[in-house]
Every structure is written in C-alpha cells, then in structure tokens.
Structure 1
C-alpha cells in the first residue's frame, strides 16, 4: 500500500509539473526572444530617427558622427544604407549565425539594420529553463517526502489494526483503545475494541465455567468414589445393595450438576426453584460426608428444628452445603456442625467447625475467586456464593472464629 500511495502521489505531481512547467517554459522563452527583438528594433528606430534628423538639417552622416550616440549598445552591430552613399557600419558583426535582427526604413529611402548576437538570449533561456527545472525537482522531492510521510501515517494504523485482529485471533482479547484522528480508521478501531471486549467476556465466561465445572463435579465424583470403595471393601450383599443405591443417587446428582452447569452457561436466571424439605437435603449431605469425616477422625452434628421448608433448587442447595462441608474438612478442625434456624422470612443453614477460623485479612475476601489461605484453588466458596445467589439466596461468613458460614434461603410457609 505504501508503494502504491507513493507512486500515485508522484504520478499526480509529475503530471501537474509537466502541465505547468512546459507551457511556462514556452511562454518564457517566447517572452525572452520578444524582449530581445524589441530592444533591437528600438535601437534601429532610434538610429533611424537620428539619421532622418541629420538629413533634414543637412548635417553630415558618417561613422564618426554616429559613433558617439549613447543609444547604440556596444554589443550591437548597425548598418545604415543611404541613397547614393557607401553603407555606414557601427560596431562589430555578431559572432555565430542567426543573430537577432531589426530592419527599419525611413521616408528618404534610408535603411537602418541592427543586429545583436543570440548568445545573451540563449543564456537567458538556459537560466530560465534551469530555474524551472530546479523548481520542478524541488516540487517532486517535496511531493515524494510528503507521500512517504502520508503513506507511513496511513499504513501505521492499518498495521496496528491488523496486529490487533491477529491478537484477537490468537486469544489475546485486550482492547487497545487507540484512535488515529481518521473517521474510517477510528470506526474500525472501535469495532475491534468492542469485539475484543465481547471475546474477553466470552473467554472469561468459558474459563469460569470450566473452573466451576471442575470444582462442582469434583464433590459428587468424590462421594461416588467413596461409595464404590465401600462396595469394594464389603462382602455383605445387603451393604453392597445399599451402597449401590446411594451410588446411583450420586450419579443422578452428578447428572443434575452437569445439567445445571449447562443451563447456567446459557441463562443465569433460575427458573427451577421449588419448595423443598431442608432436612432431606441436609440428611443427604450428612450421609455423603460422614465417611470422609470419620476417616479424618472427625464427627458431624445436626442441630435445629425439624420440618423447615425453603424455596430454591435442592440440587443447588446441596452443592452449596457440600462446598461448605468440604471447606471445613480441608481447612477446619474438630467437629462439624450443621445448624438450621429461622430468621424472619428466611431459613438459615449454618455450617461451623472447631478450627482456627478465618484470618482478618482473608475474612473480607473469602468469597473472591482465587483467594485462599491454604494454597487451594480459591474457587469453592466463590462457586457456592454464585449458586446461592442464582437460587435466590445468599451466602455469608457470620463469624471468623469459630468459622461460621450461613446460607440464607426464602422460607416456604403453607
């Protein structure tokens, strides 16, 4: 593009220079020649007037009498023809051929011829042509410099826009927010920046979905693995049957988690909230996590009034409780207590353990992604909070020491 722009600019300038300089050179050449011709003719008329005056006055006309005339240029050559007399010559004949000549004839048949060498005329024409050539060269050089500058000015934004598009294609969606003062280029830059922001949001959503999926699927897979281990370690058919039934329930929960992830990736609004028995969800989670807690030498307690019903999605509430119990198992200590209570129009489910608790620094950011005080992923509590909010509830840290997490759900009253 640079070469095309430079070539087109130089082509236009060359055409303009030719159309301007050639006629101007011809006019100037004609003007110089006419000026020289007029000067010689004026000299001839001057001599003719002097000769006529002397003829009328009866004064002698010869070379000596005319040599003192100040109007006669020393570089010119004059020949005066008088009837019945020898021609009178003034000056030296010009060198070279084709001199500038003027012939004037008076009323008494006298003739005056004045000639001038064409050398000064040729020199003036050459100087004029050299001046025009210099102007043309300077104009072309200025046009070339301007074309190079303009091509770089226009090519740089296009190069940067191409680099931005390439960065978008390579997965770097950072907008550059750079403008160039040209409406068309700025429009392209705005479109690319808007596309970069959309791609960035899409990539963030996909990465978040992948992280959430890996974390949310890990809990039911862990529970399923524990049930399969129980089956593998027992020879009692009744125990195998019971554990297999629980494993099937885990598979159903795993399917529900996958379906929820897909649904949330398309639409974050929850349209499956129903009234459910809080005790059943808590009992289910207690059965799933007691074996893991037992292996760690810890116990699980359930407290609170029975018969509470809340509005939400049982699968989502189960995932939130699983994340809280797993958090206590990994980062807490001592007994884990799941407590239910009623607060105004809310059902509150608290999960508490007897560990050291949460530091003051971490307490304000405990629900932020990638924030963890024990070198974990920092995703679990963030995902649990998102699930609670998507289900119409909220998840809070009520106490730092001992650590108490509370899930608030809308209460259902018959």
Structure 2
C-alpha cells in the first residue's frame, strides 16, 4: 500500500511537472533567443553608428580588424565591407551557418556594410543557463513529492496495519483487545466493525462456556447419581444374584459415559482458549 501511494503521488508530480515544466522550458528558450536577437540588433546598430562617425571624421581612416575587435564579445564575429570593396573581419567567423546562429546586417550611411554574427553555441549555452533552474526546480518537486508521499503513505497505512494485527488477535480468540479510533473514515469504519464483531464473538463464547458448565452439571450429576443407585441396588440383599450381576455390568458403561462427557467438555473448552492457536501442543 505504501509503495502504491508513493508511486501515485510521484506519478502525479511527474505529470504536473511535465505539463508545466516542458512548455515553460520551451517558452524560456524562445524568450532567451529573442532577447539575444535584440541584443545583436542593438549591438549592430551601435557599431554602425560608431563606424559612421569614424568614417565621417575630418580625416577619414580605413576600418581595420584592430578597430573592430574591442567591439565584440566572446562568440561574436563581425565583417565590414568598405565602399571600395575592402574587407575587414574580427572575431571567430562561423564555420557554417546553423539555425541557432544570429546574423544582423546594417548598411552604413556613408557607404559600406557590416554584418554582426553571434554563435549558436553561445545562444544554446545561455538557453541552458536559463532552463537549468526549471530543471532543478522540477527535480526538487519530484524529490519533495517522493518524501511527502512516503510520509503520507506511512501515516495512512499505519491504521490499517494496526487493524490487521487486531483482527489477527481477534481471530486467535482475544476478544478483549482495544480497537483505537482513527481520523481516517475508512479505518474508523473497519474499527467499528471489529469492535462489534469482537463483542458478538465474546458473547457467543460466553454462551458456549455457560452451556458447557450447564451440560457438565446436567449430565455428569445424573450419571453419577444413577451409578450410585445401581451400586446400591446391586448390594441390596433383596436383589436376586443374577439381577445384581446385571446391574454391576452396567456400572462400567456408566463410567465410560461419564468419562466421554468429561472428555468432550474439556476438549471443547481447550479449543476455545485464546492461546489454543498459539500453542497447539499444550
């Protein structure tokens, strides 16, 4: 029962975490990706403004790799094509375009074009960092569900384990056991049934004991009186010898009848003892 309750609670927790966590993880991943796209667009706009101002200076200079390198972060690359077709690159260019890569192109006012790219590996890393708390939270919820389920299962199954032990005692003839009350309605209903059954069985057992005592008195006393009467008649002088012999021959039969009645009553009493099942050989 405990294992089933724990499995049910953990299963429900898995379903809740799955129904909430998986869509939430996809949503967080989309939000992180959109945020990275906006960051790349803002960076491209800022770099375009800086390059435009540089090229518009009184003494324009050529844009070099050394000029572009400080404008990048790890995982980014930039490519600038001057109006005359000269090319300047900085950062680590993408080996191949992937679906997760982000590239933004901006046309400069004075001519030229720049392309800013951010690696998909960097995007995936940031998505993983954003999703990791959800994964840890889901694992924590499942662990808490398992612990709470085990505690609840232990508390809920304890009354039924106690009732099973009480029912075993009643089956052994211990009808004076005390059945506690429980807050669980099902356990309380079983406890009420055990109390009524124990009282009923105790009443029946008491009736059988009273019947055994009554039978002992009603049977053995007349048999003993009849035996004494036959012995007296057998020894009476007026009794013919052949009749006296016949009366004496009946006395052993009465003795066996008395012993049979005693044995039956004693056997019935022993079988109804509370510890009869616990020690059959006694």
Task: Find the counterpart in structure 2 of residue 171 from structure 1.
Answer: 173
Deviation at 1:214?
Answer: 1.8
**Which structure is higher in strand share?**
1
Unaligned runs of 5+ in 1: 245-414
Deviation at 1:196?
Answer: 0.9
Task: Find the counterpart in structure 2 of residue 303 from structure 1.
Answer: none
Give a deviation string over 1:298-352, Cα, whole Å, max 9, x none. xxxxxxxxxxxxxxxxxxxxxxxxxxxxxxxxxxxxxxxxxxxxxxxxxxxxxxx
Give a deviation string over 1:27-51, Cα, whole Å, max 9, x none. 2222222222221111101122233
Task: Find the counterpart in structure 2 of residue 124 from structure 1.
Answer: 126
Task: Find the counterpart in structure 2 of residue 33 from structure 1.
Answer: 33
- TM-score, L = length of structure 1: 0.50
Q: 1:206 and 2:208 equivalent?
A: yes
Name the larger-Rg structure. Answer: 1
Partner SS, residue 77 of structure 2? strand
Give a deviation string over 1:123-165, Cα, whole Å, max 9, x none. 2233344443333333223222333333333333223223323
In structure 2, what is the Cα distance between the partners aligned to 1:218 and 1:122? 99
Q: Residue 83 of structure 1 contacts residue 110 of structure 1 at CA under 8 Å; is this kept in 2?
A: yes
Partner SS, residue 180 of structure 2? coil
Q: Residue 96 of structure 1 contacts residue 117 of structure 1 at CA under 8 Å; is this kept in 2?
A: no
Give a deviation string over 1:336-390, Cα, whole Å, max 9, x none. xxxxxxxxxxxxxxxxxxxxxxxxxxxxxxxxxxxxxxxxxxxxxxxxxxxxxxx
Aligned pairs for 1:241-260 (under 5 A) are none
In structure 1, what is the Cα distance between the partners aligned to 2:112 and 2:58? 14
**Which structure is higher in helix share?**
2
In structure 2, what is the Cα distance between the partners aligned to 1:218 and 1:83? 133
Cα RMSD of the aligned pairs, angstroms, is 3.2
Deviation at 1:199?
Answer: 1.5
Task: Find the counterpart in structure 1 of residue 62 from structure 2.
Answer: 62
Deviation at 1:111?
Answer: 2.4
Q: Residue 62 of structure 1 contacts residue 88 of structure 1 at CA under 8 Å; is this kept in 2?
A: no
Q: Residue 83 of structure 1 contacts residue 109 of structure 1 at CA under 8 Å; is this kept in 2?
A: yes
CA change 1:146–1:74 in 2 (3 A) is: closer
Deviation at 1:202?
Answer: 2.3
Q: Residue 14 of structure 2 contacts residue 142 of structure 2 at CA under 8 Å; is this kept in 1?
A: yes
Unaligned runs of 5+ in 2: 248-282
Task: Find the counterpart in structure 2 of residue 157 from structure 1.
Answer: 159
* Number of residue pairs matched by the alignment: 238
In structure 1, what is the Cα distance between the partners aligned to 2:233 and 2:185? 71
Partner SS, residue 105 of structure 2? strand
Q: 1:86 and 2:50 equivalent?
A: no
In structure 2, what is the Cα distance between the partners aligned to 1:29 and 1:6? 32
